[in-house]
Structure 1
């Protein structure tokens, strides 16, 4: 269809006006963006393990598929990928070794697979259905429903979980000692890890800056939640102590109990009491101040979780995890495959009554 000269001129004019509006409005939109969006690149507010760049030595020595798995699961679980890779190198040369137990069977110690797990700690057999009651460190890295000790994706994910459970990334030497109880082994793995890191060091990820606390508190859905977060975040860096309720150390439920108490509210002291106390919240609808629970610890299950964290922002929680897991810190709850659900203690009728009394005092 042919356009008349008049219509063509009109279209060109309108396009020019739209372009002019975009040029004017875009900077204004950017100027009016909230500061937490514009400043987020300048402050590292993530306490999870930082991604160390691979050295030329790592890139040339580690098979590409293995390197991707080390980096992916290191970041996902929160341990140094180069430590994971160094374990893989020391144990089986990243699965290339032809020694017994690497590709099938077990070695003389009963270990198997590219990361050399003892079958007893893996889950009792080489291939463990993830629906089993006991799975040990068996992990399903490739999503087929089975933890296969000979599958690199499964084995590397399992190794990352084991290192995290035993102290990495902060107490990485302790975690490596538990992996293979010999200090000469720990020294060898750390030396390999240094060669794999572009910086030449085994980095311990720093805690997020206190500059990150203020935006989290300011973004709280209410003044009460702001007080809960303010207290909880101030406990970062303190050690875990089973049964601890402060002020110097806490366990997982203890720091949450104390945070609510600081806001003038009383909730159950233990994880087992906190789980049925709050109103259940659908995943994706959780808010700061809510609790996130995990099927972790002896005698626990999906209906009786043994670990709890405090939601501080979408995807992030404050937790006191275990004695060997390092100090109280902000971590990702989305990376945990043992997550069983969320609750909102503030909607419990008893807490609602407490809130009314607090409001009446301020009137």
Structure 2
């Protein structure tokens, strides 16, 4: 790696109309997904390492613990890999320790960021506490802070696109978020149906409710719902259900805004864009946190995905503001 040798809740959106306080709490509870470990994570990650990943994630605002855990898994199987450079020595690239730091990179990180107590004195790349906290700081310095560019941060850890995708896929397995969000879509539908009067004025909730109801529909290029959607067709239809007219394509939806500053955490109903400012190629609608409903591409139906899986996140807009 360049560093090492190996390898995002919001409350409801601002313009809430005619919603009782208890109703707000109900929706927030549905989407306060946190970063709880999945059963796969609990079965695979040693308890001491799991605690360290969760603690160290706090070193970098916006960094999910599952990213650290995924790197630890890919690099050394959480320190269990029987190979040179894990508990002592170095591998062929000069990396050492459970998070596979080069000596110079580890020294640079620990000079910029004094590590919290609990590790070795002086800090050691072979000490799990020190290595995991140092990895969190390194990722933060490389773009992970506030979710600005997680893809770039992981790529800095190990300069390979396959590595980035492997880490993100492993993080998704470790996080309970995807399953919870799918359940939350169903819970949101039920809650809104039961308390329609409380939610009638919140256009973001209406849009998300519509999007959730489309889960499983086929991807259709240029589709507007019959029989399926493309990405911008879904977001346009969702906001049309809420009384907001959006342009038809992802690029024109991005241009229409209102866009929020870089680093803004996604809220329920925000539109998440991918590409570059002048070449936006994809859009989804946020469920809060790192999850969105989207129509991904051919042969993939409307589904819930972690937007961090897309390597070219370009920012968000808040049509209901």
Question: If the length of structure 1 is used for normalisation, what is the TM-score?
Answer: 0.44
Instruction: Give the structure, 1 or 2, with the largest relative contact order (CA under 8 Å, sep 6 or more).
Output: 2
Question: If the length of structure 2 is used for normalisation, what is the TM-score?
Answer: 0.49
